Amino acid sequence: MRRLPGRPLGGIGIPFKGFSRLRVLDFSKLLPGPYATQVLRDMGMKVTRVELPYFGDLAREFLPKIDGVGATYWMVNQGKKELCFDFRKPAGLKRLLRMIKESDILLEGFRPGLMERIGLGYDAVRRINPKIVYCSLVGYPPDGPWARKAGHDLNFQAVAGLLGLGDSEQAIRFGSAQVADLSGSMAAVAGILAALVERQSTGKGRLLRVAMAEAIHSWLAIPLGHLAAGEDPSLQPQWWNGGHPFYRLYDTADGKKIAVAAVEKGFALTLLDALGLSELKSLADEPAAHAEKLSSEIAKVFATAGRDEWERRLEGKDVCVTGVYSLKEAAEALDRIRKSAPSSALVRRKPRSRS
Instruction: Give yes or no: residues 63 and 154 share one domain.
Output: yes
What percent of the chain has pLDDT above 70?
92
- Asked whether the predicted pLDDT for residue 351 surpasses 50, the reply is no
Tell me, what's the pLDDT at 175? 85
Band the pLDDT of 331: cuts 50, 70, 90. confident
190 and 291 assigned to the same domain: no
Query: What pLDDT score does 15 carry?
Result: 84
CATH number of domain containing 103 = 3.40.50.10540
- Output the pLDDT for position 11: 61
Shared-domain flag, residues 214 and 265: no
Contacts of 297 (CB under 8 A, 6+ apart): 277, 280
Three-state SS annotation for 64-105: CEECCEEHHHHHHCCCCEEEECCCCCHHHHHHHHHHHHCCCE
Report residue 63's pLDDT band, with 50, 70 and 90 as the boundaries. very high
The residue from 202, 218, 234 where one domain ends is: 218
Residue 230 inside a domain? The answer is: no
| The pLDDT of residue 325 | 96
pLDDT of the residue at 168: 86
Do 47 and 168 belong together in one domain?
A: yes
pLDDT of residue 334: 83
Q: Is residue 159 part of a domain?
A: yes
**pLDDT, mean of residues 74-100:** 93
Q: Encode pLDDT of 23-47 as tens digits.
A: 999 999 999 999 999 999 999 999 9
pLDDT at 3 over 80: no
Evaluate if residue 352 carries a pLDDT over 80: no
Query: Residue 13: what pLDDT?
Result: 64
Is 276 within a domain? yes
Question: What pLDDT, on the 0 to 100 scale, is given for residue 271?
Answer: 98
* Amino acid 4: pLDDT: 58
pLDDT at 288 over 60: yes
pLDDT category of residue 354 using cuts at 50, 70 and 90? very low
Looking only at the bridges linking them, the beta strands covering 207-211 and 321-323 are unpaired
Q: Is residue 208 domain-shared with residue 253, that is, in the same domain? A: no
Residues 261 and 302 in one domain: yes
**Are 71 and 211 found together in one domain?**
yes
Question: What total of structural domains would you count in the chain?
Answer: 2
pLDDT(1) > 60: no
Q: Which amino acid is at 147?
A: A
Please indicate whether residue 338 or residue 244 has the higher confidence score (pLDDT).
244
Q: What is the pLDDT of residue 10?
A: 60
Of residues 175 and 126, more confidently modeled: 126
Split at pLDDT 50, 70, 90, the class of 353 is very low
Q: What whole-number distance in Å separates Cα of residue 301 and Cα of residue 307? A: 12
Task: Tell whether 238 is covered by a domain.
Answer: no
Residues 137/210, Cβ–Cβ less than 8 Å = yes
Task: Report the mean per-residue pLDDT for the chain.
Answer: 91
Domain final residue, candidates 178, 202, 218: 218
Contact 84, 53 (CB under 8 A): yes
Cross-strand partners of 323: 258
353 within domain boundaries? no
Q: Is the pLDDT of residue 173 over 60?
A: yes
The verdict on 165 and 263 lying in the same domain is no
Residues 92 and 151 in one domain: yes
Instruction: Specify if 97 maps to a domain.
Output: yes
Which residue segment(s) compose the domain that 256 sits in?
A: 247-340
> Does one domain contain both 301 and 160?
no
Note the pLDDT of residue 332: 87
Chain centre distance of CA 260? 22
Q: What is the pTM of this model?
A: 0.89
- CATH code assigned at 300: 3.30.1540.10
pLDDT of residue 121: 95
Catalytic residue numbers read 152, 181
pLDDT, residue 2, reads: 52
Q: Helix-strand-coil percent breakdown of the chain, rounded to 5? A: 45, 15, 45
Residue 80 and residue 121 in one domain: yes
- Determine, yes or no, domain membership for 69: yes
Antiparallel, parallel or unpaired: β 247-251 and 257-261 = antiparallel
Residue 165 has pLDDT above 60, yes or no: yes
In a domain, 34, yes or no: yes
213 and 286 part of one domain: no
Give pLDDT tens digits for 207-245: 999 999 999 999 999 999 999 999 999 998 898 888 999
Residue at a domain's end among 218, 233, 255: 218
